[in-house]
Structure 1
Amino acid sequence: MNADLITATAFAANTLRFPAHAIASLAGTSFKHEHLPAITADGPQRGFFEVHAENYMGAGGPPHRILEQIRRDNPVSLHGVCMSIGGPQPLDRAHLERFRSLVERYEPALVSEHLAWSTHQTTFFNDLLPLPYTKDSLARVCDHIDEVQAAIGRPILLENPSTYVTFSESTMSETGFIRSIARRTGCGLLLDVNNVFVSATNHGFSALDYLADFPLADVGEIHLAGHAEQSDDEGDLLLIDSHDGPVADAVWKLYDIVIARRGPIPTLVEWDSNIPDWPILRAEAIAAQAILDRYASIISRNQNHAAA
């Protein structure tokens, strides 16, 4: 982190509007407005909530009143989906300013964006599109991340994508590309385990090999989600990162492997369509928390044995 980011972060720490809730080793869920009555009825709980930045870029109104209520009592992760960090054109300055204002307004425990692009000139696509892994795209992504981090005064976490096509012009692996980004920019990483499983299935590579080569030391948050099964034009299995159901057993197994290697870190269960009742979504987070707690206990026992 450069000196300007350190200064800005230190200043923010002394002028907090909200309680500085701890988020380490906690599991959380996507926040949906329809769950607010049930969340409120449950009272204080262990965990955190993630919100999509673009849903709160208006100046005020009910969304902000609700988010302020949630933020007073819980840590919040702010997740951007439209920055188009992987795009060929300059970042949208107005969008970046709105993003910066949200970070300042809500003091999220974690801030993240996607390794993807979603705009071309004046056209905005409702998708997170892949990019070739080349020296040119690496330089462009790093420049964009530097710009975002300078604007918000803190590092971001960059999420690995789920992909359905690859590029013949790519000259490096996805894990190598991501490792280079983290090294050049000082950003952290958001490891989406479901995205790893989806891409591995679609492209026929090993999810375990991918995770073995992923820079786990830079991971500051994990995402889990459900996916949908379809068939491609040749009748082969095609997975879609749909966020519309429970986390699959295979993804839970990969997650367990990651936590065993990396240790407990904040984990978010995404569920963005076909949204279930709150107890169902909450149960997914409780399952993740059980895995985090199990490995936290193992680490604690090992440390106690080493100190004895």
Structure 2
Amino acid sequence: MEATPVPAGAGLGLKPQHFDAALSCAAPGLWFEVHPENYMMDGGPRLAWLEAVRGRHPIALHGVSLSLAGPDAPDAAHLQRLARLAARIEPVLVSEHLAWSRADGRYFPDLLPVPRTGETLARLAANIARTQDVLKRRIALENPSHYLHMDCHAWSEPEFLGELVRRTGCGLLVDVNNVHVSAANLGIDAAAYLAQLPADAIEEIHLAGHSRDHNLPGLLVDSHDAAVAPSVWALYRTLVARIGPRPTLIERDGNVPAFDELLAERDTAQDILAASRQVQEECAS
């Protein structure tokens, strides 16, 4: 299987119910992203399904369980399984989260926050380096969603992410919905946050929907169960205008609609990327 160039267009999170539609879709620039944890086996129908889609479209791997910010090093057996899957699928991008989910042999079903301190920075840098050494490739780190103030931060998040890029050579996956949710919950400026991120390090962008907490109506939740909100589209346009077109993914994990509805949302991102590319070409001519 030959390596596929990094896609310049917009993609979709790949869902089992959309297998036939994904396999047959011929939309230009379309690619798909999956959680590797669902495919880290040696065979079987699920892996065969992924390989079939990979034969038609580029695939990216978006991990949720390496616990890079946790107190323990990434699980060695897990990393080896991830490396075998990456060698088999040859993903165009591999990404993980600025979060933790494992400690003292216990696993937690969530992506938990960490204080942005020098100690956390050193631990994250070491774990990212271990992961990149095993995978023999650069990974991208995703910014988290925030719901509560933490008083122990020594760095702003854009500064923290920029320092991780400098120390490890990793890339960034910018989840614009996460930025919007965090800004609303913590009272920060989402546009200013995005403006501080190092443009050259941004390898991928995520777009998703959010919801309001029923018990705390003022709290936004990164629920991935709705269409991308107009406010998130506005932030995305501003970001792409600054950094240029980057691979962009539409995420939907709850209330998943028909494939054509997701594809239409993806086409909105594709149009924004195409317009940005045209501006770049006009400026270069």
Q: Please classify the TM superposition score into its range, dividing by the shorter chain length.
A: over 0.9
Read off the aligned partner of 1:299 and give its amino acid letter: Q
The 1-side partners of 2:94 and 2:219 are apart by 30
Match of 1:99 among 82, 88, 105: 82
> Is the Cα contact below 8 Å between 1:44 and 1:73 reproduced in 2?
no
The 2-side partners of 1:275 and 1:302 are apart by 39
The 1-side partners of 2:7 and 2:284 are apart by 18
Q: Secondary structure at the match of 1:226?
A: coil
Question: Are positions 1:244 and 2:193 aligned together?
Answer: no
Question: Are positions 1:67 and 2:50 aligned together?
Answer: yes
> Is the Cα contact below 8 Å between 1:87 and 1:119 reproduced in 2?
yes
Q: Which position in structure 1 is the counterpart of 2:163?
A: 180
Point out the more displaced range, 150-159 or 35-44: 35-44
Identity %: 45
Q: Which position in structure 1 is the counterpart of 2:239?
A: 258
> Is the Cα contact below 8 Å between 1:231 and 1:237 reproduced in 2?
no
Structure 1 residues 194-223: Cα deviation after superposition (integer angstroms, max 9, x where no partner): 000000000011101111212222100000
> Is the Cα contact below 8 Å between 2:7 and 2:58 reproduced in 1?
no
Q: Secondary structure at the match of 2:272?
A: helix
Q: Secondary structure at the match of 1:221?
A: strand
Point out the more displaced range, 209-218 or 246-255: 209-218
Normalised by the size of structure 2, how large is the TM-score? 0.96
The 1-side partners of 2:28 and 2:282 are apart by 26
Read off the aligned partner of 1:281 and give its amino acid letter: L
How far 1:247 sits from its partner (Å)? 0.4
Question: Are positions 1:149 and 2:132 aligned together?
Answer: yes
Normalised by the size of structure 1, how large is the TM-score? 0.89
Question: Are positions 1:223 and 2:206 aligned together?
Answer: yes
How far 1:298 sits from its partner (Å)? 1.0
- Where does 1:264-283 land on structure 2 (aligned, <5 Å)? 264-283=245-264
Structure 1 gaps of 5+ residues are 1-16
Q: Which position in structure 2 is the counterpart of 1:9?
A: none
> Is the Cα contact below 8 Å between 1:30 and 1:268 reproduced in 2?
yes
Q: Secondary structure at the match of 2:141?
A: strand
The 2-side partners of 1:47 and 1:22 are apart by 12
Question: Are positions 1:90 and 2:73 aligned together?
Answer: yes
> Is the Cα contact below 8 Å between 2:210 and 2:224 reproduced in 1?
yes
Cα RMSD after superposing both structures: 1.3
Read off the aligned partner of 2:57 and give its amino acid letter: N
How far 1:169 sits from its partner (Å)? 1.7
Q: Secondary structure at the match of 2:102?
A: strand
Answer with 1 or 2: which has the greater Rg: 1
Q: Which position in structure 2 is the counterpart of 1:195?
A: 178
